[in-house]
Amino acid sequence: MLKKESLLKGTIILAAAALVARFLGLFQRIPLDYMLGNEGNIAFTNANQVYMIVLMIATAGFPSAISKMVSERYALGRPDEAQRIYRAGLLFGLIAGFVLAIALYVLAPLYGAISKEPGSVLAIRAIAPALLFFPLVAMMRGYFQGRQMMSVGGTSQIVEQFARVILGLLLGWLVLELGWGDRWAAAAITFGSVFGGIAAFAVMLRFARKLKKQDASSRKPARRMSAEASAALRPSFSSPSAKTQSGTLTNRGIYKEILSMSIPSLVTSMSINVLLLFDVMLFNRLTGNFYTLVESKAVAADYGIKAISLAGIPPILAIALGSSIIPIISSAFSLKNMDEVRRQASMVMRIVCFTGVPVALLLTVASFSVTGLLFAGPSGSGPVAALSAAAILQITMMTSNSIIYGMGKPKLSMTHTLIGLGLKVAVSIALGPFLGIYGLIIGSAVCFIVVTMLNLRSINGIVKLQVLGARWVPYIAAVALSALAGWGAELGVLSLTSTWANKLSYLLAAIAAAAVVGGLYVVLLLMLRVIRPEDVTALPRPLRGPFNKLLRVFQRAGA
């Protein structure tokens, strides 16, 4: 039986699914460093980045809007309207996916000309058919999230990644064995996304049929307003734009309501992918004066295969939290329950500070060992460290965007995001010719900082966040000391094992750095009283007991 999940449980489910999916994606990129040369790796990166942008355009921000609207309709006891919204989203995804799949295939040579990477054309065309499936899958995931059934989307995400990674790599290996070269191999591996789309669609269809039967057999009155979200009433529901004069919800009204919310959401959700696409598409043009041709190929390949994939791990929790928090904050905000909005928003920001930062720290200070261990060599560890450090700022930007969206102010976050993207472009153009890839990463970091600051200013104008307060200074001290100690541990182990086999040396150094960063970080948070009993109650149940015991130990020691 499909059941609703709370914010914490839903977040854990989505975070776990995203983590598994991310590691499977990383597993795909690791063999690429061994299988393909620079040209093949660049082709794979370009194909995936341009595909992600087109996919987001194909869904037009509908999934988040559908999640919000479905949640609110069910709260009002209007399941028929929720179903019409769902069907309208599926129709849009079907048509948009078909049109954009053809457009991506036809316009692939244009991208190759702009990026000065003609070898990417074949891979881009190979991934285009995946657009026939993923817009539909995204709409269905949005619907299930609106019903607060996060495990459904998480399950489909994991199945999708297994099919994409395993079948894509097998097909790429077969193409290499046939001697067709890097370009065809990269295309074959990207075609794995088509297999992933088919698998994810099959999973979502299965759950959709199960939920349909469950709804049909439910004994609850179809229009009874649920207690859990009766607060979700919003003025837009009675808007004449969504209904005819007779009160019937029309597709035209649905699309108008969705687009009013989804276009701002689309801009904010696309921001990371736009940044990365900007970097890989214009890399040769922006850094041509800094690198030789050979250096440029090597750096671009390392950035796409290593830095982007590793730096994508720390924000996983923020992505999951954002998906889970939107309907909950939306419900509380519509009731004018500002205490609950403040509590939920503050808790989310606190969670991402405590949990997202140490992973980014580890990848920053131990980038040399982690990169050398996972990939063919440690080349590219510098960009890995820089982009992982920037991920700390990315986490706060993404989380604050979700909070603003839940408060019904999507245009505000869109405006802030556009300002940040403009600064990204300006800084990258200014610094790229002089600092190479680091100039582009600095541009991204500036974007994250500015958007976060603008978001927090706007949120505090509505409700005063209570994230850490006076605890910010000891928190920053804990972060800095942990990072410094982890970096020292990595250098020490690398020095002691310099005559050993490279992979073994990298493994031991990475383990040492992880142990020091993770262990010291937790100890300092407790010792400096950054984590308090009320923070522990927000942790998953298996972690509460150990943390409560540690808290008591440090409290006795402090006394």
State which residues form the domain around 169.
1-213
Task: Report the amino acid identity of residue 392.
Answer: I
Token reading at 364: 């920053």
230: Cβ contacts below 8 Å, ≥ 6 apart: 75, 76
Predicted local confidence at residue 245, as pLDDT: 45
Together in a domain, 449 and 497: no
Predicted local confidence at residue 244, as pLDDT: 47
Predicted local confidence at residue 241, as pLDDT: 45
Together in a domain, 433 and 479: no
User: In whole angstroms, how far apart are CA 410 and each of 252, 259, 261?
Assistant: 21, 11, 7
Predicted local confidence at residue 6, as pLDDT: 52
Q: What is the pTM of this model?
A: 0.82
Where residue 436 falls (left for φ over 0; alpha for ψ -120 to 50; beta otherwise) is left
User: In whole angstroms, how far apart are CA 478 and each of 45, 250, 482?
Assistant: 36, 55, 6
Q: For residue 281, what are the β-bridge partners?
A: none
Predicted local confidence at residue 543, as pLDDT: 61
Predicted local confidence at residue 449, as pLDDT: 96
The number of domains in the chain is: 3
Together in a domain, 427 and 411: yes
* Phi, psi dihedral angles at 314 (to 5 degrees): -55, -35
343: Cβ contacts below 8 Å, ≥ 6 apart: none
Return the residue matching tokens 């970091």: 445
Residue 249 domain-assigned (yes or no): no
Together in a domain, 51 and 157: yes
Residue 199 domain-assigned (yes or no): yes
Predicted local confidence at residue 558, as pLDDT: 59
Token reading at 460: 């505090």
Predicted local confidence at residue 456, as pLDDT: 94
Together in a domain, 118 and 63: yes
Residue 224 domain-assigned (yes or no): no
Return the residue matching tokens 């919800």: 249
* pLDDT, block means (10 residues), the chain with 559 residues: 56 66 77 92 94 86 80 81 90 93 96 93 96 93 83 86 93 95 95 95 93 76 41 40 56 80 79 93 93 93 94 78 68 82 85 84 95 94 96 90 84 93 97 96 97 94 88 93 96 96 96 95 89 70 69 68
Burial 8-30 (b: 16+ CB within 10 A, else e): bbbbbbbbbbbebbbebbbebbb
Q: Are 167 and 195 in contact (CB under 8 A)?
A: yes
C-alpha to C-alpha distance for 98 and 266, rounded to whole angstroms: 19
C-alpha to C-alpha distance for 263 and 319, rounded to whole angstroms: 18
Together in a domain, 406 and 452: yes
Together in a domain, 404 and 545: no
C-alpha to C-alpha distance for 487 and 34, rounded to whole angstroms: 27
Together in a domain, 455 and 522: no
Q: Is the dihedral of CA 144, 268, 468, 460 positive or negative?
A: negative
Token reading at 502: 């490279």
Return the residue matching tokens 């990258």: 428
